[in-house]
């Protein structure tokens, strides 16, 4: 789901290099994607700005040959679930009050008191973790997804507390590079929890799952979004094992590196955080989970999804309805029985997809 401006820049560059005024300089390009999934993130963008960032709105789209994928490969083991996912992604599932859809009863965790319900969700996705926590397969095959970083951090903190083993804590070294007058004390910089950056206080245990936040060595499988299992800790490196993909099982050493937030965060200073480029991945944001396959998926929605495709992406990480569980905090009451949550779909980008 790259921004269309990036694809258009590639098109112009190839035309200039090859000297042929045809799309991509006359070269054949193969692109894969699903417009039902979330779009590029536009900070505080309007619906029009978000839609405009999609390749669907590019003149290049009109010259491409399209093949519609009619089924989600992850869900082939459960035809009903596949059909349900496609209806959710296309915005064709029955709605009430605008955009609220009913989640099947067997996929929901009843919402009562917030803490008790969340405990039920965690137990359904990570059953008997005290016994099974040493199994890499058990850990990497399950995760809880939510909309916002604060919800994810809350669940990760709870699960690392439960995880068996001795804890290792790594603290970051933070500085404001252009703060010549020392307006921003280190304690304030340490308190910032920024999307896309590791936390100042990184809590880990041997066997716990982590997710990489930067491209370190793509040729050897160390890409942004790669999930790993911690195997050991040293002062300046983390010993880890790649858990998914063609490089699964490979042992790697992750260094501590300087990291900066994106320019879109618009802080009045330039933060540099030196830390290991990883976060815990018992729980992940829905956007971060895009592209992952998880046999056991929990979806935690203390508030409704807020952008196109989020609900579809969250549900389609799983492979069958029996292995997907949702905890939805009701945002409004309906006379009909059942659990309802909003489904945001921008239909203008789905025609002929």
Mean pLDDT by 10 residues, the chain (353 residues): 89 96 91 85 84 87 68 58 90 90 93 80 91 88 94 94 93 90 90 90 96 93 94 95 92 95 76 95 93 90 91 91 92 87 91 60
Transcribe 120-179 into DSSP letters: HHHHHHSTTHHHHTT-HHHHHTEEEEESSHHHHHHHHHHHHHHS-S-EEEEE-EEEETT-
Instruction: Tell me the helix, strand and coil percentages in the chain, rounded to 5.
Output: 30, 20, 45
Residues in Cβ contact with 37 at an 8 Å cutoff, skipping those fewer than 6 apart: 1, 89, 290, 309, 312, 313
pLDDT at 69: 52
What is the CATH T-level fold of the domain 71-164+282-353, as seen in this structure?
Rossmann fold (3.40.50)
In whole angstroms, what is the distance from residue 221 CA to residue 215 CA? 9
The answer to whether the beta carbons of residues 221 and 242 sit under 8 Å apart is yes
- Angstrom distance (rounded) from CA 70 to CA 115: 39
Q: What is the pLDDT of residue 253?
A: 96
Angle, vertex CA 137, rays to CA 134 and CA 141, nearest 5: 120
Residue pair 283/156 in contact by the 8 Å Cβ criterion = yes
- Residue 44's pLDDT is 79
CATH 3.40.50.300 placement within the chain: 71-164+282-353
- Count Cα atoms within 13 angstroms, Cβ side, for 279: 27
Q: Which positions ≥6 away from 97 have C-beta within 8 Å?
A: 332, 334
């Amino acid at each position: 789901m790259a921004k269309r401006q990036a694809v258009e820049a590639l098109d112009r560059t190839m035309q200039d290099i090859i000297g042929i005024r045809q799309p991509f300089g006359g070269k054949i390009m193969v692109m894969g994607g699903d417009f039902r999934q979330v779009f590029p993130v536009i900070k505080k963008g309007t619906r029009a700005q978000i839609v405009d960032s999609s390749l669907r709105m590019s003149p290049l789209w009109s010259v491409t040959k399209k093949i519609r994928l009619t089924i989600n490969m992850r869900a082939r083991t459960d035809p009903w679930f596949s059909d349900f996912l496609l209806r959710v992604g296309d915005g064709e599932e029955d709605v009430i009050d605008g955009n609220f859809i009913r989640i099947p009863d067997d996929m929901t965790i009843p919402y009562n008191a917030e803490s008790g319900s969340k405990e039920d969700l965690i137990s359904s996705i990570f059953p008997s973790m005290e016994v099974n926590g040493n199994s890499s397969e058990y850990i990497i095959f399950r995760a809880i997804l939510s909309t916002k970083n604060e919800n994810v951090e809350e669940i990760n903190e709870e699960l690392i507390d439960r995880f068996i083993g001795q804890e290792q804590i790594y603290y970051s070294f933070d500085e404001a590079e252009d703060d010549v007058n020392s307006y921003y004390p280190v304690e304030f910089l340490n308190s910032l929890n920024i999307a896309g950056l590791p936390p100042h206080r990184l809590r880990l245990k041997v066997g716990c799952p982590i997710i990489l936040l930067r491209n370190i060595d793509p040729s050897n499988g160390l890409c942004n979004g790669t999930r790993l299992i911690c195997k050991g800790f040293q002062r300046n490196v983390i010993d880890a094992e790649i858990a998914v993909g063609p490089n699964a099982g490979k042992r790697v050493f992750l260094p501590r590196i300087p990291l900066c937030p994106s320019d879109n965060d618009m802080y009045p200073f330039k933060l540099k955080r030196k830390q290991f480029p990883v976060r815990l991945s018992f729980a992940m944001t829905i956007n971060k989970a895009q592209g992952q396959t998880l046999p056991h998926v929990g979806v935690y929605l203390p508030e409704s999804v807020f952008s196109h495709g989020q609900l579809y992406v969250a549900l389609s990480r799983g492979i069958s309805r029996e292995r997907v569980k949702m905890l939805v905090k009701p945002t409004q009451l309906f006379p009909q029985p059942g659990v309802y949550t909003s489904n945001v779909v921008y239909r203008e980008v789905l025609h002929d997809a």
